[in-house]
Structure 1
Amino acid sequence: MFVVRTSGRSAAVDDDRHAFKLLGRRQFSGLGLARPLTTGVRARAVLELRQNHGRLRFRALVGGEFVPGEGDRIAWRVRCWETVRPAPQQGLLPGALLPGLPAGLDHAARTGLWADLNAGALPAGQLVIDRAGYHQECSPALFTTAVELLVHVLLAGAFGSPVEPVIRSWVATGRLPDVTGWS
C-alpha cells in the first residue's frame, strides 16, 4: 500500500479491497473512442482520498480494473450498490467507510470518467469501476476527482509508469496532474 498525507489532503493506493465490491445489478456502461496501444498488462487498484474543508473531512474510496485491448475503443462500466444497509468497513486511510456507490455519487463517478473518455486520450481496452466506499459526509466533487485519479493510477499500472508522482501531485496541489503519455 502507498500512502501520502498532508494536513489538508491524504491519498492511499492498494491492489484491491473485496469488502468494497459493488454487487448491485444497476450499472452504467458505454463505449468511447480510444487510442490504439502497443503493449500493456491488466491493472487493478483501489484509491482512497481524504480532503479537509474547514471542519468537514470528506472521504471517497473507488477501485477498478483496466484491461488493455486492441482496436480504437474503450469499453467502460460503473457498477452501483443496491444494498440498503451496508456495514462499515475499514478503509485504506484511518476510519471506517460504508461500502457502496449510492445515488448521487454514481453520477459523480461517471462524471469522473467522461473527461478522459470524451477526449479520446485513453488507450483501447476495458475499464470498470467496481469498488467504492463513502462516508456519511460525502462530496460528489471528491468522488469525481477520485475516479479521474483512479484512471491515472490504473493506466500507470498497466503501462509500467510510477504511480507515486501522480498521487503526490494531487496531495500537494489538490489538482490532477496533466498525464497524457500512455502507450
Structure 2
Amino acid sequence: MFAVRTSGTEAAVDGDRVEFRLLGKRGLGGLAAARPVASGVRSRAVLEAHRNYGGQRAVALVGGEYVPGEGERLDWRVRYWETVGPAPLPGLLPGVLLPGLPEGLDDAVVHGLWPYLNGGALPAGRLVVDRAGYDRESSPLLFAKATGLLLHVLLAGAFGVSVEPIVTSWVETGQVPASLPSA
C-alpha cells in the first residue's frame, strides 16, 4: 500500500480489501468498443480518496479488477451493494468507512467510467468495479473522480506502468492523466 497527501487531498492504493466487496446482485454493465491488446496481466486495486471542497471533506473508496482479453470489446460491470446495516471498517486512510455502494453513489461510479467507455480507447478485456466504501461525507463528485483514477491505476498495473506518478499527479492537480496507460 502507498499513500500520497497534500494539504487538501489524500489518496491511497492497495492491492485488495475483500472486506469492501460488493455482494449485491444488482449492477450495471455492458460492452464497449475497445482496442486490441497484445499483452498484459490481471490487475486488482482498491483506492481511497479524501478531498476538501471549500471546508467540506469528501471521502470515497472504490476498487476493482481489469483482465486483458482478446478481441475489440471491453466487458464492463459496476456491482451495487444491497445489504442493510453494514459495520464500519478501517479504510486505507485514517478513519472508518461503511462497506458498500448505496444509491446515488452507484450512479457516480458509472459516470466516472462513462467518458472512457465511449471513446474506444480502452483496451479489450473485462473490467469490474466490485469494492466500495463510504461515509456520511462521501460525495458523488469524488466517487466519479476516484473511479476515473481507479481505471488508470488498474490499467497501469495490467501493463507494467508505475502507479505512483499517476496517483501523485491526481492528488497534486485534481485531474487524472490525459492519456491512459497502455501496453
Same-fold call, TM > 0.5?
yes
Q: With structure 1 as the length reference, what TM-score do the two structures score?
A: 0.98
User: What SS class does the counterpart of residue 146 from structure 1 fall into?
Assistant: helix
Partner of 2:87: 87
How much has 1:54 moved relative to structure 2?
A: 3.0
Partner of 1:10: 10
Partner of 1:172: 172
Partner of 1:114: 114
Partner of 2:126: 126
5+ long unaligned stretches in structure 1: none
Q: Which amino acid aligns with 1:7?
A: S
Partner of 1:160: 160
How far apart are the structure 2 equivalents of 1:181 and 1:55?
A: 33
Aligned residues: 183
How much has 1:181 moved relative to structure 2?
A: 4.6
Q: Which amino acid aligns with 1:78?
A: V
List structure 1 runs of 4+ shifted beyond 4 angstroms. Answer: none
Is residue 156–residue 181 contact of structure 2 (8 Å, CA) maintained in 1?
A: no
Partner of 1:42: 42
Q: Deviations over 1:109-164 (max 9, x none)?
A: 00111111101110000000000001112110100011100000000000000001
How far apart are the structure 2 equivalents of 1:101 and 1:140?
A: 11
Residue 59 in 1 paired to residue 59 in 2?
yes
Q: Deviations over 1:60-108 (max 9, x none)?
A: 0000000000000000000001011111110000000011000000000
Partner of 2:104: 104
Q: Which amino acid aligns with 1:176?
A: V
Q: With structure 2 as the length reference, what TM-score do the two structures score?
A: 0.98
Matches within 5 A, 1:129-148: 129-148=129-148
Cα RMSD after superposing both structures: 0.8
How far apart are the structure 2 equivalents of 1:145 and 1:181?
A: 17
Q: Which amino acid aligns with 2:40?
A: G
